[in-house]
Chains A and B, each alone.
Chain A
């Protein structure tokens, strides 16, 4: 017993344990909570918008929990579905593609801070899995890998519709990768950091939030984010009425679920980015972390107070995330879809020049002192 305690209290092991807990939390939050919940929210929200009842059938002994069990039922159904690989498909790549699609959207979470830094029982706890100096670059580098999953899926299925979907996806995702990168350049100039932890820390004061100073960039970024996730109105790669289901036409069972989960996870991760960059991460407007720590520290003691503040921070982060997710879903249930060439035009001829303009304006603003850097 003593040996275990002494092992745990080893600084290195403790560090490792804390990281594992954080990874577990993030995985649980995204795969275990957000993916099924989003599926449910998507159904329920669309039902409310469309004057319908929505999912309310699946239940255990008549208990339906307002349709919440549908996600469970879906999961059970899909796990037991036949995993079908069409004849002539490139078997290896066909199996690999959904994995390539889902991994980047999970790995991106490593650098997104879902809380601040806290001192608990003498240990520094930083609520981010990896505090990289080049966090933003990491996000874009990993994010662009997701494109491969989609393209490989489209190509390896040996189906013309899939191929067209893969083509559309590759063109669209690469284009919006570029534009999305450019929309945040202004922020990097403003906060003078590529680390998401730094950027969040600098937004402690509400008047330094990204959305206050970079509202145009926020709008452009959100547009790019929706396009990057291939959701309506940018869902040309999987346009149901045109390409059957686009690049995942030939997928079934768990592989289909992986694509489907990847879409939700991308939504969550990009919304997380958005919260970190523009909406002040875990910060509450007009309330500093210091104030909270002192207030709760006085009330509950230093360490317990810090835990409470940490939980509040995570709660605030998730709340902001959910608001962004609901916004994206509202867009999804309101808009028709773009045509493929219109998407490209919007990306290259509208959003790209606008984001370049914004970079220029931010530069001018910083140089002239109109935009005081935090």
Chain B
């Protein structure tokens, strides 16, 4: 597990301290950082359900709301995070959680390789993650295992490829639309 110091702010937030105290010994954390005051945990894909359940149920954390779920493609920019290269990871699924009760936020990231972009669906923990996961599948091709209805949401069924991947050219044409105007 690697750790990056807070940039600018000294000290570790309560959220981070608590998360590290519990998740650290479980051996699921790859990396943590607190850039610009956003507490971030990086965890293994296979541990995501365990981590999320802990974050939601823990008395002092209580992350009852899944604010945002998206993915990032780091193709050609793997050096941006120290853990991406060693893991041969290309994608990261990014979860933003918020606790209404405690009024704090956390970001959880899951690095995924190009060969196996699989991660467990968290719809069982937050039902609201349903469409967000469909969107990440639609645009990045990340597969959420256990999702009840994993199909395209913003694009149409016949769409080929996943357009937000960095190797999908901005001007690429789709077969239904035809090669050039």
Task: Answer whether A and B touch in the complex at a CB cut-off of 8 Å.
Answer: no
A residues near B (Cβ < 8 Å) are none
Chain B positions near chain A (C-beta within 8 angstroms): none
